[in-house]
Structure 1
Amino acid sequence: MKKTVFAVAVWGCVAWLAISCQKNNHQFDASGTFEANEVIVSSETAGKIIQMFAEEGKTLPKDTPAAVIESTALELQKAQIEAGIEALQQKTSDAGPQIAVLEQQAAAQEQQVAAQQEQLRILEREKKRTENLLKAEAATQKQLDDINGQIAVLQKQIAATQQQIEATRKQVAAQKATVATMNRSILSEKKPLEKRVEQVNEQLQKTTVKNPITGTVLVKYAEAGEVTAPGKPLYKIANLNVITLRAYVSGAQLSQIKLNQQVKVLVDAEGDTYKEYSGIISAISDKAEFTPKTIQTKEERVNLVYAMKITVKNDGYLKIGMYGEVKF
């Protein structure tokens, strides 16, 4: 009987030593919980949700459609504005036909002036010839006077035709100015309407909700068929490929850590084993705070600590809210 008791006692001591050694092997310098940069995606426009592609646990690439909001009202509004722009275009005056007639008239008058100037050159040559003949007493003074009279009449005709051309050109300019003034007042309404079309187009683009980051959908807040509004959450997403452990250290431990320092991160596995990851310290708080209630014992929660963030590459095992321990 004594031998049995002694054997049990020895076995108990061995077991206690084994457990103690195992615990000592897994002493840690800090602990905390895993978190991720979560993004809550909301609709930027109001309307009925036609399609919802975001599903909990589903991975969505960046910029892919996550939801489609009904756009019938916006499309009707756009069509109405575009019809107004087209109606304005029909109200504008076209001075082309009237201006074409006036320009044809001016061209004919210019041709007439050209013909008259050619006649004038002929008469000028005839005048010089007659003057030479008169000096040789081969022509009379009356012949020279007749030519001078023809030249004077032709010069007056040329001047009158040139005045007609100038008047016609002024009519063309006046017609263009009048029509331009009329059209300007009409088309001044066009630019605000075009701006409204741009605004509606922007709203139409927002009816397709684009996923902002590549990640996994954590929570889905809305379903197809529901009515949403600007700012109303549709789903929550986070990139779980890289996850962050928020841990806490005491003031005395600050000298042991620095930014970009590589550390060991341990998480619970099967039984009493741990799964080990490599992490990088990405942030260290410069402000002390009380130990969070979820960390350490009741006595230790009254101590001031400093938060730090450790970036860990996730192999799929790490989950948000899971506890982790850190070894420097």
Structure 2
Amino acid sequence: MMKKPNRWLFRIGAVMVAAAVLYALWQFLQPEGLPDGLASGNGRIEAVEIDVATKTAGRIEDILVNEGDFITAGQILARMDTEVLQAQLKQAEAQKQQAVVSIETARHQVVQRQAERQAATSLVAQREAERDAAQKQFARSEELASRGTTSQQVLDTDRAKFESANAAVSAAQAQVAAADAAIATAEAQVINAQAAVDAAAATIESIQANIRDSTLRSPRDGRVQFRVAQPGEVLGAGGRVLNMVDLSDVYMTFFLPTESAGRVRIGSEVRLVLDAVPQYVIPAKASFVADVAQFTPKTVETASERQKLMFRVKAQIPPELLKKYIRDVKTGLPGVAYVRIEEGMEWPSSLQNLVPWQNQ
């Protein structure tokens, strides 16, 4: 009858020992408290996202990359159909050729109008000579009439010839003025034709630029995140084809309270620990500290911390490190950022296992 109490005592003792072991293990696994010269905040790895979009409306002819592909700056990612643009280019080239011909025609018109002016100028000289002769004849007749040696009819005839010669000179001078106006008009036509050639050339350059832009290239080294559209789809101007991330511009955004954020300097050393690889510590530097407080996003902090006003801090990962591990870089990974807010503060041993870089 005494065996049952002993069995219960044994079980209670085993439970107490197990609880003590679990508590000791929990205490052992708890992270060390941070020294006063360090601050920390939760965040996620982010990178600059770039939309590869069309410049003009058109149909997607082909997409040459898939989601997850690594791409380099200048690499062709997609091609847009350029059949309409090629037709517009031919039309613009024909218009330019037509304008070039118009220049030659207008120049010939200038030469012709200059010849007409020269002829009009010669006619003026001829009419002036005729007027001078008529004037002299009229003067002699007038003198003879005063002596009574010639008739009044002869005097009237010579007067009419003189006045007619004056009118002929005025008409010839008017022809010279008309020739000057015609020359100015012809020269204006040359200028207009040249402007038409320049306009056609500009149109050709614009269409050629659109044709070049119809070949979509990667602006930077990075990775394709997702394809927004598919070959055969028709997009408007600015329509997105691909979304990529710039793997040379990767950072973690985290939030600090006022007392910590106020002590963070641009360039302060930051160390990142990701949940996926907690055994490695990633070096970074504080590249941005918000000057306005905000409530922290739900995706970053706990519910109690969201009730506080925090300052957003951005920790930039060195491009050299990213280049060395470019195929291991993944955005969206959660982790913790530790920032040194006191110069000369020694990093805890748990934050000294930096990933090797800089030829280490």
Q: TM-score, normalised by structure 2?
A: 0.61
Who is 2:137 aligned against?
none
In the other structure, the counterpart of 2:264 is 257
Letter in 1 for 2:264: I
Give SS of 1:24's match: coil
Alignment-mate amino acid for residue 293 of structure 2: A
Relative distance call for 1:274 and 1:8 in structure 2 (3 A) is: farther
Match of 2:78 among 53, 56, 67: 67
Task: Tell whether 2:321 aligns with 1:310.
Answer: no
Residue identity matched to 1:293 = K
* 1:42 counterpart (40, 53, 57): 53
2:221, 2:247 within 8 Å by CA — same for their partners in 1?
A: no
Q: 1:243 aligns with which of 239, 247, 250?
A: 250
2:202 partner letter: K
Q: Show structure 2 runs of 5+ residues with no match.
A: 1-6, 113-179, 340-360
* 8 A Cα contact 1:54 1:235, kept in partner: no
Q: Which residue in 1 is equivalent to 2:232?
A: 225
Greater Cα offset, 80-89 or 259-268: 80-89
Give the equivalent residue in structure 2 for 1:202.
Answer: 209
Aligned residue identity for 2:311: Y
Which residue matches 2:21?
14
Contact 2:44 2:334 in 1 (8 A): yes
Deviations for 1:195-226, whole angstroms, at most 9, x for unmatched residues? 22222222222211222221111121011111
Q: What secondary structure, in the 3-state scheme, does the structure 2 residue paired with 1:36 have?
A: strand
Distance 1:5 1:209 in 2: 72
Q: Secondary structure at the match of 1:260?
A: coil
Identity %: 21
Aligned to 1:18, the other structure's residue is in SS state helix
Distance 1:20 1:283, change over 3 A: same
Q: Output the amino acid matched with 1:39.
A: I
Shift of 1:57: 0.6
Match of 1:277 among 277, 282, 302: 282
Q: Which residue of 2 aligns with 1:301?
A: 306
Structure 2 equivalent of residue 107 of structure 1: none
Q: Provide Cα deviations, 1:31-86, integer angstroms capped at 9, x if missing partner.
A: 11221111112100111111212321112211222221111212112212222332
Instruction: Give the Cα separation in 1 of the matches to 2:192 and 2:25.
Output: 95
Q: Taking structure 1 as reference, are residues 38 and 255 closer, same or farther at Cα in structure 2, changes over 3 Å only?
A: same
Q: Which residue identity is paired with 2:44?
A: T
Post-superposition shift, 1:319? 2.8
Alpha carbons of structure 1 residues 265 and 26: separation in structure 2 relative to 1, 3 Å: farther
Figure out how many residues of one structure are paired with residues of the other and give that number. 249
Question: Aligned Cα RMSD in Å?
Answer: 3.0
1:22 shift after superposition: 1.2
> Structure 1: where are the runs of 5+ without partners?
100-173
Q: CA deviation at 1:301?
A: 1.2
Partner AA of 1:321 in structure 2: G
Instruction: Give the TM-score normalised by structure 1.
Output: 0.67
